[in-house]
Amino acid sequence: MAGDLIVAHARIVTAEAVLTGSLAVAGGRITDLDRDAVSPPGAVDFEGDYLLPGLVELHTDHLERHYTPRPGVRWPAVTAVMAHDAQVAAAGITTVFDALALVGGRNGEDRMETLRPMVDGIRQAQAGGMLRAEHFLHLRCEVTEAHVLELFEPFRDDPLVQFMSVMDHAPGHRQFSDLAKYREIYKGMLGLTDEQIDAQTAERIAASRTHGVTNRDALAAIGRGRGLPIASHDDETVAHVEEAAALGMVVSEFPTTLTAARAARQHGLQILMGAPNLVRGGSHSGNVSAGELAREGLVDILSSDYVPVSLLHGAFTLAEGGIGLPQALATVTVNPARAAGLEDRGRIEPGLRADLLRVRLVDGVPVIRAVWREGERVA
């Protein structure tokens, strides 16, 4: 992709301010930014719409829903990736880290039987020029999984893998410190009886105690060896954050308490929260709200998690809270880009990639009117 483009009469959101002017793109890169109100020849007239950087998504589980749209149903991987990509691009996301979980399958299923086709589908679709956004892999590593290191091994040197997180979803701490909430969610989700959910709870707690520490240490060592940015998932306590910092992790994903978020800030970890949490006004798991952390200045990055369209909506929700549009949009553009080591995108500056959005506010809702990736219109 290498497109040329000129836009005029746009409200351009830079890293520092919102200015009205024009912008030029050549060869897929931003070449000029001008406050001049005169419309250059051949320019697309934005009519006062916002011009924003393309969004950068570090953690979305969305692909899995397209590959397995119903229990026991597996969709052809390439078209599943294309369907996921179309929805991501329509949400203004031009760089996406597809988060795939390294954890054993249900009902005796071999997780690699679903994991490998999804990864191969991303690779094939991207190599074939079938995708609108640029895709990378984020491996979500479940430390309670006895065989998580074996699941990671085939992807250890895969260039698609550019981010990883370390998780412990055992009930009784982190995301599910409230055992009653855990029972409520998983009993309904999996259709389990009281006896079955009791057995599952005990099994997962035992797995965390048996495998958690050794797998966490081993996975962090692999990530550091690859030079991957590593995130700690669902930090609940100061001790969780201190452990993450000691292991070289750089992001605290979805901290579940204000205490953990404050500790993350003190230890220099970037704090990532869910945009659905922010848009909905609270956590579906009953944990700390993203809005509360935002009011404390403790949100650096937003993730759409399971609702792609929430990412831009979440950024404008932050702006409504009074932090200013450039700072709010940084949580979905430059901050996640930098956390992932991508310095060529996330800002509107000459020399950077022309990943761009045209956005209009309608009754307070951000509406995406066009999306460009490297200067080429993709949505």
User: Average model confidence (pLDDT) for the chain?
Assistant: 92
User: Among 141-150, 191-200, 344-353, whose mean pLDDT is lowest?
Assistant: 191-200
Per-residue model confidence (pLDDT) at position 250: 98
271-302 residue pLDDT tens: 999 999 999 988 876 789 999 999 999 999 99
Strands 356-362 and 365-373: antiparallel
| Residue 322 vs residues 291, 294, 295, 325, 326: alpha-carbon distances, Å | 12, 10, 9, 8, 11
Report residue 33: phi and psi, to 5°.
Answer: -135, 120
pLDDT of 25 over the 90 cut: yes
Please name which of 253, 233, 275 lies closest in space to residue 339, comparing C-alpha atoms.
253
How far is the C-alpha of 173 from the C-alpha of 165, rounded, in Å? 17
How far is the C-alpha of 1 from the C-alpha of 75, rounded, in Å? 28
Per-residue model confidence (pLDDT) at position 1: 44
Strands 365-373 and 44-45: unpaired
195-227 residue pLDDT tens: 777 777 787 888 778 888 999 999 999 999 999
Residue 202's identity, in one-letter code, is: A
3-state secondary structure of 178: coil
Residue 124 DSSP code: H
pTM above 0.75, yes or no: yes
Per-residue model confidence (pLDDT) at position 146: 87
Place of tokens 């959910």: 197
